Chain A
Amino acid sequence: MKKKSVSQAIGFGLLRFCIIVVLMILVVILYDIFSKGKEAVSWEFLSAMPRNGMTEGGILPAIVGTFLVTVITAILAIPLGMGCAIYLNEYASHGKITRLIRMSIRNLSGVPSIVYGLFGVVLFVQLMKLDTSILASGLTLGLMTLPWTITASEEALKGVPRAYREGSLALGATKWQAIRTNVLPYAIPGMLTGAILGLARAAGETAPILFTGAAFSLPFLPKSLSDQFMALPYHLYIMATQHHAIEKVRPIAYGTALVLIALIFCMNFFAVVLRYKLRKVKVE
Chain B
Amino acid sequence: MTIATEKNKVQLKSIGFSDRAYGRSVEENKIKIVVEDFNFFYGKTHALKNINMKIRSNAVVGIIGPSGCGKSTFLRCFNRMNDTINNIRYQGDISVDGNNIFDKDLDVVDLRRNVGMVFQKSNPFPKSIFENVAYGLKINGINDKDFIQERVEKSLKDAALWSEIKDRLNESAFSLSGGQQQRLCIARALAVEPEILLLDEPASALDPIATGKIEELIHELKKKYTIVIVTHNMQQAARVSDYTAFFMLGELVEYDFTNKIFTNPLKKITEDYVTGRFG
- The chain A residues found within 8 Å of chain B, CB to CB, are 93-95, 161, 163-174, 177, 181-182, 186, 282-284
Contacts and interface: CB of A to CB of B under 8 A. Distances in A.
B192 interface: yes
B123 A172 contact: no
A170 B125 contact: no
B51 interface: no
Interface in B135-153: 135-136, 138-140
Interface string B181-223: 0000100110010000000000000000000000000000000
A93 B123 contact: no
B136 A186 contact: no
A162 to B, nearest CB: 9
Given A93-B86, A283-B172, A283-B174, A172 B140 contact: yes
Interface of B: 79, 81, 84, 86, 109-110, 112-113, 116-117, 119, 121, 123, 125-126, 135-136, 138-140, 172, 174, 185, 188-189, 192
B109 A170 contact: no
Given A163-B123, A167-B123, A171-B113, 6 more contacts: A166-B81, A167-B125, A168-B125, A169-B112, A171-B139, A173-B139
Contact of B126 (A93, A95, A282): A282
B139 A170 contact: no
Nearest to B109: A172
Contacts of B125: 164, 167-168, 182
Contacts of B113: 171-172
Main secondary structure of the interface of A (DSSP, over half): helix
A94 B139 contact: no
A61 to B, nearest CB: 46
Contacts of A167: 119, 123, 125, 185, 188
A168 B81 CA distance: 11
B84 A169 contact: yes
B156 to A, nearest CB: 15
A186 B109 CA distance: 23
Given A186-B126, A284-B172, A166 B189 contact: no
A168 B139 contact: yes
Contact of B119 (A163, A282, A283): A163
B136 A283 contact: no
A58 B136 CA distance: 59
A163 B81 CA distance: 12
A169 B81 contact: yes
A181 B131 CA distance: 12
Contacts of A174: 109
A171 B112 contact: yes
Given A163-B119, A283-B174, A172 B84 contact: no
A56 to B, nearest CB: 56
The 7 closest A-B pairs by CB, nearest first: A172-B113, A163-B123, A171-B136, A170-B117, A173-B139, A167-B123, A172-B112
A181 B140 CA distance: 12
B191 to A, nearest CB: 8
Contacts of B135: 168, 171, 181-182
Contact of A172 (B121, B139, B174): B139
A166 B123 contact: yes
5 contacts: A164-B123, A166-B81, A168-B139, A171-B136, A172-B136
Contacts of A93: 86
Contacts of B109: 172-174
Given A170-B189, A171-B188, A283-B174, A181 B117 contact: no
A171 B126 CA distance: 16
Contacts of A163: 119, 121, 123
A157 to B, nearest CB: 15
A235 to B, nearest CB: 45
A282 to B, nearest CB: 5
Of A166, A172, A173, A186, the most chain B CB neighbours within 10 A belong to A172
Contacts of B140: 172
A173 B112 CA distance: 8
Nearest to A284: B172
Nearest to A167: B123
A44 B153 CA distance: 64
A284 B136 CA distance: 20
A161 B123 contact: yes
Contacts of A95: 86
A190 to B, nearest CB: 14
